[in-house]
Chains A and B, each alone.
Chain A
Amino acid sequence: MMELSADQFDKLAQQIYQRLGLHFEEKKTYFLQKRVERRMEALGLVDPQEYVFRLCYADPNGAEMQALANLITTNETYMFREYEQLEAFANCCLPEVLSAKQARGEQKLRIWSAGCSSGEEAYTLAMILQEVFPQSQYWDCEIVATDIDENMLAHAVRARYWWRSVRDVPADYLEKYLVQDGESYIVREKTAALVRFEHLNLHDRMAMRAMRNFDFVFCRNVLIYFDDRSRKAAVDHFYNSLNRGGYIFLGHSESVGRISSAFTLKRFEGHLVYAKE
């Protein structure tokens, strides 16, 4: 059985970070090793050093990196995924943005869930917004959730989910914002009404330009499937779509800073977030 040495792990982790913006901690050694093993098997390689070279220096069109990305990322989406990041949003960023708006006498808040798939993230944000900011009902609050896949959007509009999608919803939220209907759960109407679903291709630069005046952009675990150029273009558009003082959230292990240096890194109670200043 092959073993990744520590320096091979470091080199792979560095390469994955540079190319995908995904951060791999040391404790993920075994996780990464098992995925690399599978890729090595598929390529007929026996020495991890050969795989490291292949990925770092002999992958001109990025095909191998994409194959590895497919193994190290999770396609599954569910409510309250990457809870810590949502905590940073709920406890730090959202209150900051809301109080700045209150001070300016504004009563409008816009959030964009980009690449929303079947809508779990958008509804999660709606629940958090209602919980953290009960006055949201008197404000003009809107969560715009977009995806390229019409079928997914149709699923999202139905707001009906199996238990797997709601398995991480805190019990009190489950009771407050969802209602059980047989084996599935339906997002309550008041919460669902905060979310508007739209078809949007993140590669469509003219359509992207129309997305303006958002206070938050969430595009988690989506850009890892883009090539370097498209990823950069999408993040540039997100920058333009945000109001000053707004925040962008990519996936927990994705790094905004790796893709664009336009955002400012801020630290809130141990959470690192990126803002447009």
Chain B
Amino acid sequence: MTELQECVQKLETGDEPDRIYAAEDIGFANLAAGISPLLARLPVEPSRAVKEAIFAALLQIDDDAVIEGALGLLDSEDSYLRNQAVELLRALGSKTVPYLDRAFRAGPPDRRKFVIDVIARLAEPASVGLYRRALEDPDLNVVITAVENIGNARHVQFREQVERMVTAEAHPMLLGACIEALAQIGDSTSLEAVGKSFGGVEGVPGYLRPSYLKLVGAKGSPAQLPEIAFFSAIRALDAAVLNALTSLRNRYPEMTIPPALAGPLRHMACRNPPQLAYQAVRLLGALISDSEVYDFLLSRLDDPDKVIRIGAIQAMREAGGEGAEAVLRRRLSSETDPEILQAWGGKNPQ
């Protein structure tokens, strides 16, 4: 009996550790003849650990039959097998593209969507043709998945096409995906295009406002600050407003924050979880010349949450001048927490 036959036999009859080792050995041997027994075992194998070992083994075998086998699993009823097949194909990289292309052309909608899932991390130009076809797909899920991937992987050559998909009549899920994608691949014209589709910023439907604000943060300029101020009155948009302001400020460090935002930002710092409150406090630093803001930041130095204390220290240090620095010196002279000291500009903890 050959070593491979022995492994195949153990894969079918051994106890769990033996089956795992058998799968591992077949993968290590890197023999194409091992692919079919491994694939055949998957649907009947009861142990998750063995199934994982089988997928790890398939990844080790350098033969295109692995790709064909994994594509076959995309049609499986078992979601675990489908997801693992997607992961396996992703790990196999660009060499899968011709096979994916064929599977996309011939497959049902679910398979077409999984194919687009697989190419999410493939570098262009290998995946561009598939995306082009996916954007024309009759199935909405396939189109949405393609738009999401195009944004995430920054395939900028699809910018105009994605912009054209933003119309008031489009499916809400598709609109959300398009605006989020434009936050990655768009430019200032994308912002205009989206605004026009809804007859101005006030016309952007509520469910799309977080995505729109993301686009403003990523591709807008300080000229959009009044739009952000408009949305700052809506509590449900706190996170989106703070993210947009922070992103704009990262891109335009000299940007002046309108005084009208002082009140909303103070409210946001009080009513949100620490991470968002920290952002609000940091942004308030730009308005420290307002005495109410100054007092507010001072009060945050006693906040029970360390991250907010850190935010207040940074805000006061950066914008508060000598007066604020003197206050910080008094308040922090006996501080020992390394992160607080770092925020104050003292000792670096690492």
**Residues of chain A at the chain B interface (Cβ within 8 Å):** 1-9, 26-27, 29-31, 34, 46-49, 53, 56-57, 60, 71, 205, 209, 229, 232-233, 236, 239-240, 260-262
Known contacts A3-B279, A6-B243; A30/B310 CB under 8 A: yes
Question: Does B67 make an interface contact (CB < 8 A)?
Answer: no
- The CA of A226 and the CA of B123, in the complex, are separated in Å by 24
Q: How far is the CA of A47 from the CA of B249 in the complex (A)?
A: 10
Q: Contact check, B343 vs A30: say whether CB atoms are below 8 A apart.
A: yes
Say yes or no: B154 contacts A53, CB within 8 Å.
yes
Are B59 and A60 within 8 A (Cβ)?
Answer: no
Q: Which residues of B contact A5 (CB under 8 A)?
A: 217, 242-243, 246-247, 279
Residues in B neighbouring A46, C-beta threshold 8 A: 250
Q: Whole-angstrom distance between the alpha carbons of A233 and B28 in the complex?
A: 12
- Most chain-B Cβ atoms within 10 A of its Cβ — which of A56, A60, A209, A236? A236
A30 CB to closest chain B CB (Å) equals 5
Per the bound structure, the CA–CA distance linking A262 and B306 in Å amounts to 38
**Contacting residues, chain B, for A2 (C-beta < 8 A):** 250
B214 and A57 within 8 A (CB): no
List the 7 closest A-B pairs by CB distance, nearest first: A262-B49, A5-B243, A5-B246, A26-B275, A240-B17, A262-B48, A3-B246
- A267, B251: Cα distance in complex, Å: 44
Whether the Cβ atoms of B239 and A7 lie closer than 8 Å is yes
Interface SS of chain B: helix
0/1 per residue, B137-169, Cβ < 8 Å to A?
A: 000000000000000111000000000000000
Contact A48 B153 (CB under 8 A): no
**Residues in A whose Cβ lies below 8 Å from that of B276:** 6
Q: Using known A-B contacts A1-B318, A30-B339, A57-B121, determine if residue A48 contacts B52 with beta carbons closer than 8 Å.
A: no
The answer on a CB contact under 8 Å between B306 and A260 is: no
Instruction: List the interface of chain B (C-beta within 8 A of A).
Output: 17, 20-21, 24, 28, 47-49, 52-53, 56, 59, 80, 121, 123, 152-154, 184, 214, 217-218, 239, 242-243, 246-247, 249-251, 273-276, 278-279, 282, 305-307, 310, 314, 318, 339, 342-343, 350
CA distance A260 to B51 in the complex (A): 11
Report chain B residues within 8 Å CB of A9. Answer: 275
With A5-B217, A261-B48 as given contacts, are A236 and B56 in contact (CB-CB < 8 Å)?
yes
**Min distance, Cβ A245 to any Cβ of chain B, angstroms:** 14
CA distance A239 to B21 in the complex (A): 12
Question: Complex: how many Å from CA A60 to CA B279?
Answer: 31
Q: A6-B276, A229-B59 are in contact. Are A236 and B52 (CB under 8 A)?
A: yes
Q: How many angstroms from the CA of A232 to the CA of B184 in the assembled complex?
A: 32
Given contacts A30-B310, A53-B184, A261-B48, contact A229 B279 (CB under 8 A): no
| CB-defined contacts of B279 to chain A, threshold 8 Å | 3, 5-6
Is the Cβ of B247 less than 8 Å from the Cβ of A239?
no
B56 touches A229 (CB 8 A): yes
Q: A229 to chain B: which residues have CB within 8 Å?
A: 56, 59
> Would you give the shortest CB distance from B280 to chain A, in whole angstroms?
10
Task: Please pick, from B49, B59, B273, the residue contacting A236 in the complex, using a CB distance under 8 A.
Answer: B49
Docked complex Cα distance between A233 and B20 (Å): 11
Kindly report which residue of chain A lies nearest to residue B245, judged by CB atoms. Answer: A5
A5-B247, A240-B49, A262-B47 known, 14 other contacts, Cβ within 8 Å = A1-B318, A6-B275, A6-B276, A8-B243, A27-B274, A29-B275, A46-B250, A57-B121, A205-B24, A205-B28, A233-B56, A239-B49, A240-B17, A240-B21
Nearest B residue to A34 via CB reads B342
Structural contact, A60 and B123, CB atoms closer than 8 A: yes
Contacts of B217 on A, CB cut-off 8 Å? Answer: 5
Cβ A236 vs Cβ B239 within 8 A: no
Known contacts A34-B342, A57-B154: A236-B53 contact under CB 8 Å: yes
Complex: how many Å from CA A236 to CA B59?
15
A34-B348 Cα distance, complex, nearest whole Å: 10
The complex places the Cα of A70 from the Cα of B47 at a distance, in Å, of 35
Bound form: Cα–Cα A262–B184 in Å: 37
Chain A: CB-nearest residue to B309: A30
A48 touches B214 (CB 8 A): no
Report Cα–Cα, A139/B99, bound state, in Å: 58
Nearest CB of B to A1, in Å: 7
